[in-house]
Chains A and B, each alone.
Chain A
Amino acid sequence: DVKVTQSSRYLVKRTGEKVFLECVQDMDHENMFWYRQDPGLGLRLIYFSYDVKMKEKGDIPEGYSVSREKKERFSLILESASTNQTSMYLCAIQTGAGNTIYFGEGSWLTVV
């Protein structure tokens, strides 16, 4: 079974704080993703990584950065959190037949 772990499930942060969202996979998958999901806006890709230290911007990278120092770990960083970054954040890996995407359980971030 594919396992994608997002350790922080529910966070409340203050405006201007630096926020780290961690994602860990248990296999050697190359492709990892960060999405955010908001009501009425669907899933939007923030960043994509295809290997260690390699990353590509998605549709909405502004206000975010990522880090992938080890293959199993992909971190999303909000340098200075703002209220419009309140959302559900989903980490995902891509593997298997058809290059299927599998999601972690999600991290709910509230910025006050």
Chain B
Amino acid sequence: QKEVEQNSGPLSVPEGAIASLNCTYSDRGSQSFFWYRQYSGKSPELIMFIYSNGDKEDGRFTAQLNKASQYVSLLIRDSQPSDSATYLCAVNMGYGQNFVFGPGTRLSVLP
């Protein structure tokens, strides 16, 4: 069974703090890893993807990948109330339908 796990939250952080979102996956052979943001009532939108071990930065967002531990994380620096959303981790475990989404973590940034 190919699985992606996330803490469902809610994760609450004060405005300006760093939010840390975590994800683990089951398939050791997975090659690419994605973070999506989903506002209530909207469709998921891609934040960034990563496929090499280490960190990848894009503005206030940093994705971290550790393939040995089968662990992906997303850091959001200087969190803003507009970052309040559900964050979905996804892992490409192979062709087509083997693109697996986690259940999402709900983030709340408090003013």
Given the complex, which residues of A lie within 8 Å of B101, measured CB to CB?
42-43
**CB within 8 Å of B: which A28-47 residues:** 31, 33, 42-43, 45
Name the distance in Å between B45's Cβ and chain A's nearest Cβ. 7
Q: When chains A and B are docked, how far (Å) is the Cα of A101 from the Cα of B31?
A: 14
* With known contacts A42-B102, A43-B88, A98–B34 Cβ distance under 8 A: yes
Partner of B92, one of A48, A50, A98: A98
Task: Please name the residue on chain B nearest to A30 by beta carbon.
Answer: B96
Question: Which of A11-19, A67-75, A79-87, A102-110 is the contact stretch?
Answer: A102-110
Give the secondary structure class of A's interface.
strand
Q: Is the CB of B43 within 8 A of A45?
A: no
Residues of A within 8 A of B (CB): 31, 33, 42-43, 45, 48, 50, 56, 58-59, 90, 94, 97-106
Chain B residues bordering chain A, tally (CB within 8 A): 20
List 4 A-B pairs, minimum CB-CB distance, nearest first. A98-B32, A103-B43, A42-B103, A106-B43
Q: When chains A and B are docked, how far (Å) is the Cα of A108 from the Cα of B34?
A: 25
Q: Is the CB of B99 within 8 A of A101?
A: yes
Q: When chains A and B are docked, how far (Å) is the Cα of A102 from the Cα of B49?
A: 12
Q: Is the CB of A104 within 8 A of B43?
A: yes
